[in-house]
A and B are shown apart, each in its own frame.
Chain A
Amino acid sequence: MPANYVPIFIFIAIIAVALPVTLLAAKLIRPDNPQKTKAMPYECGVDPIGDARARYTVRFYIIAILFVVFDVETIFLFPWAVQYKALGLFGLAEMLVFLAILIVGYVWVWKKGALEWI
């Protein structure tokens, strides 16, 4: 059914035209008076110290890795859920094995302290 998917491109085309055109049209009527202090990064009125793209805590990285693991596993569950009744007990047992492996990993991550923020 490719006709079902055509509206996605229509929608993206409409938005890709409408939003930038509004932004550029607004440029004609809004004031434009750039100054050096205005273009400084906002830091509550104090001159910023150093570049913003410095190092930050490694926790965000761990969260990202965990997210990839769990989200891919969620995607694997979608076709299983659709065919659940048809698969019957076989599907249940298979998925319990799959989830058991995942849960072992989850418990390991928890015990390792990767889910602690402090």
Chain B
Amino acid sequence: MLNQLTQYLQSTVTPGQAGSMLWATIYILVIFAGISLCVVFINWGERKALAHFQIRLGPMRVGPHGLLQPIADALKLLLKEDTIPANADKVVFWVAPFIVTTAAFVVYLVVPFGPQHAVTDMNIGILFMLGVSSLGVLGIITAGWASNSHYPLLGSLRSSAQMVSYEVAMGLAVISAILMTSFTPGSGSGTLSMIGIVEAQKAQGVWFLFKFFPLGLVAFVVFAIAMIAETNRAPFDLPEAESELVAGFHTEYSGFRWSLFMLGEYAAMIAVSSIAVTLWLGGWMRPFPNLLSGTNWDTIFSLVPGAFFLFLSAVTLYSTARMPKKLTFRIQTVGLGAFGLLLGAVGLVMLVPGVRERVQDIFWFMLKVAVFMYLYIWYRATWPRYRFDQLMRVGWKVLLPLSLGVLIVTGVVGLSPELMTWLKGVL
């Protein structure tokens, strides 16, 4: 057992590559639990942030600042009656939520949280990710069809049409990032492996967002728009447009099955955000890994995660001190104080020398993904919903030509030295 542990701590590759299925299983369980927990608390964060955008307070009653609200919600959903419509196709109705959730979670196999913090590093990583994440369409269309009701059918048709339309632009934007990996000096060919893509960015000394400026930026923006449409989020949340379709494809679902759809949707949001972070924003790399290199800078940046958590702890303890001094708030005050102390303890653990080198990659990756998750909420609070014909026009007539053009121009710019010598030879 101890042997296994030291072997793990000294390894520099992912458990899948090392052939250690025990650690791969542990990683899978940690990711499964961790992502579910993230989804639950992003849900809380979304309700809180949306409330503050609209000058409300949001959930305040269950736990301090409503921190326990998502747990109460999960319990409520588990205890709700589960109805299946009489006309529904029972088997397909049963299977559909599992397809959506499985497709959303299996993607996390190849997400590189760090150079050795991925379950496995397949050499077709990004292709696997795109392929599996698009299987979610199957779950949505079966859910809509099996319900045998008008709203779900229309919702699922809209949803699948939207998802397949934006997938084309998304794939082309991904290809222009793959193209950039083939320009790594000394390697001669690109890579599809998720870890390889981040390492290519490190070797080239630039995030692909800024490579061949502004070509990388345009491809990233195309991807960022397509990924909102792909996950059916506002302003492209037509499949769930409350004013037209009640709740879209999951109108007939209730209780735990409905919560599986919710889990799948939020897990897919985190998954596509992590694709974007890996391809364009340098994945797990800390800011300026080449410019500010050296052991001194390494030490300074490895202290940031711990300091960040200590800062969060300080903010929480400050608001604990500001809680109203009334007897009715005593449990809430104690709870918030305990939460602050917990954050502080996490921060202190992250400062321990052996630990901080191991967790800093995960911290930077999650921080970048968290920015995307906040942007999702921000879009939802800011922009009105598109009309369906506008949505299709943006997908097919704007994003598709744009991503094709960016791909061709990236190819031409990348080979410009060779093109120049060829032109000189011809003239």
Contact = CB atoms under 8 A, between A and B. Distances in A.
Nearest to B88: A41
A71 B168 contact: yes
Nearest to B168: A70
Contacts, number: 219
B41 interface: no
A82 interface: yes
Given A7-B16, A30-B255, A39 B21 contact: no
B361 interface: no
Contacts of B151: 42-43
Given A18-B32, A63-B161, A88-B418, A42 B175 contact: no
A26 B246 contact: no
B29 A14 contact: yes
Contacts of B121: 4
Contact of B182 (A59, A86, A110, A116): A86
B289 interface: no
A12 interface: yes
B153 A10 contact: no
Contacts of A7: 15-16, 21, 24-25, 28, 109, 119-120
A77 to B, nearest CB: 5
Interface stretch (B75-83, B226-234, B271-279, B377-385): B75-83
Interface string B311-352: 000000000000000000000000000000000000000000
Contact of B415 (A20, A66, A89): A89
B256 A22 contact: yes
Classify chain A's interface size: 35 or more
Classify chain B's interface size: 35 or more
B195 to A, nearest CB: 11
Contacts of A88: 415, 418
Contacts of B191: 82
Interface in A24-82: 26-27, 29-34, 36, 38-44, 48, 51-53, 56, 59-60, 63-64, 66-67, 70-71, 74-75, 77-78, 81-82
Interface of B: 15-17, 19, 21, 24-25, 28-29, 32, 78-87, 98, 101-102, 105-106, 109, 119-123, 127, 145, 147-154, 157, 160-161, 164-165, 167-168, 171-172, 175-176, 178-179, 181-183, 188-192, 246, 251-252, 255-257, 260, 388-389, 392-393, 396-397, 400-401, 404, 407-408, 411-412, 414-415, 418-419, 422
Interface of A: 1, 3-8, 10-12, 14-16, 18-20, 22-23, 26-27, 29-34, 36, 38-44, 48, 51-53, 56, 59-60, 63-64, 66-67, 70-71, 74-75, 77-78, 81-86, 88-89, 92, 95-96, 99, 103, 106, 110, 115-118
Shortest 10 CB-CB distances between A and B: which pairs?
A41-B149, A117-B389, A74-B171, A67-B164, A39-B86, A81-B178, A70-B168, A85-B182, A82-B190, A84-B182
